[in-house]
Amino acid sequence: MERYILGYVTNNALPGVTAEDANRLTHINLAFGKVKDGLLDMHELENIGEVERIRALNPKLKFVLSVGGWGAGGFSIMSRTAEGREAFAASCLREVEKYGLDGIDIDWEYPCDNSANIDCDSSDKQNFTFLLQALRDALGEDRIVSIAAGAGSYFIEDTEMDKVAAICDYVQIMTYDIRSGFQREAGHHTGLFTSPGDRLNGSVKASVDSFHAAGVPRDKIVIGAAFYSRRWDGLPDVNHGLFQLAGTIGQYGPGFTVLERDFINKNGFVRYWDDDAKAPFLFNGSSLISYDDTESIRLKCEYLKAEGLKGIMYWDHGSDPSRRLLGAMWAAITA
């Protein structure tokens, strides 16, 4: 089975995509298109012309337009009628054809949920499925329809994943931010397995098992890796801060290149390895930083191969200009 390596690349990072990047990735998710007045809006992707340059570096590379992201609304209202869904799908087809793209990735965060201060309704659960079917009908069977799914049980409860999986080419589970900006308990935000003492009980494996039980075939599951970190401050110096209550919620932390330069075994931060979770973390006596490194990514790739999963994706490309994490990912997948 061909396995995928997918990278979310934002507008600002597109000009920096190199030939090496293009030949280590199978897919680039262009982040982001938005929903505006019920139609696809491309104003954030000013550098989409870079697609032509990058495609020349690797003609086999797939370019998928990701629509949404955290705080991006418009999905719920647009998807409540067949006319709305069809008009949106038609606007997606126009942009796909205009820029020679390979498909659409829906990153609705999240159906039936207004925690990001977006429009929502209980009918989102069924309308999410209808929206994806409208996209499939408009784009055809030869183009990609995919989703980015929240890693927790909330996403499964608020969608029809068996039906969604039947429509989509693959399902990308965002197995990062498992501990997010809503939790004060410091811990792994992208751990492979659940560590004893972790009251949140979240991990890549837990998410994969839940999505599979909800009807997603294993060979359609793509897991996520984090090229950025999460940080908690105001922790007691107990268990190196792991699973302790912090004075802050989990803040968005530095990207991996900055972590290597300024934090990993530097400036008072010590790297620790949780062998149960197969995940690294940093602690300086009062602050904990959770992240992925080359070792944890290698183990994620070995896990997905052993489990028969489709591949691995990451957020986001610009967070690691050193390319160390993508290099480790590529080496492990192709080994």
Q: Provide the pLDDT for residue 95.
A: 98
Q: Provide the pLDDT for residue 11.
A: 98
The CATH superfamily holding the domain 4-227+291-334 is: Glycosidases (3.20.20.80)
Q: Provide the pLDDT for residue 308.
A: 98
Here the tokens at position 328 are 């480790």
Indicate which residue of 20, 50, 52, 109 is catalytic: 109
Q: Provide the pLDDT for residue 200.
A: 87
- Asked if residue 152 lies in contact with residue 207, where contact means CB atoms within 8 angstroms, the answer is yes
Global pTM exceeds 0.85: yes
Q: Provide the pLDDT for residue 116.
A: 95
| Residues ≥6 apart with Cβ < 8 Å to 234 | 246, 247, 248, 286, 287
Active site residue 109: yes
Exposure letters 54-83 (e unless 16+ CB within 10 A, then b): bbeebeebbbbbbbbbeebbbbbbbbbeee
| Residues ≥6 apart with Cβ < 8 Å to 294 | 324, 325, 327, 328
Q: Provide the pLDDT for residue 76.
A: 98
Longest distance between any two alpha carbons in the chain, whole Å: 58
Q: Provide the pLDDT for residue 182.
A: 86
Q: Provide the pLDDT for residue 201.
A: 85
Q: Provide the pLDDT for residue 326.
A: 98
Q: Provide the pLDDT for residue 210.
A: 98
Give me the tens of pLDDT residue by residue for the chain, a chain 335 residues long. Answer: 999 999 999 999 999 999 999 999 999 999 999 999 999 999 999 999 999 999 999 999 999 999 999 999 999 999 999 999 999 999 999 999 999 999 999 999 999 999 999 999 999 999 999 999 999 999 999 999 999 999 999 999 999 999 999 999 999 999 999 998 888 999 999 999 999 989 988 999 999 999 999 999 999 999 999 999 999 999 999 999 999 999 999 999 999 999 999 999 999 999 999 999 999 999 999 999 999 999 999 999 999 999 999 999 999 999 999 999 999 999 999 99
Strand bridging mode 270-274 / 279-283: antiparallel
- Spell out the domain ranges in the chain: 4-227+291-334
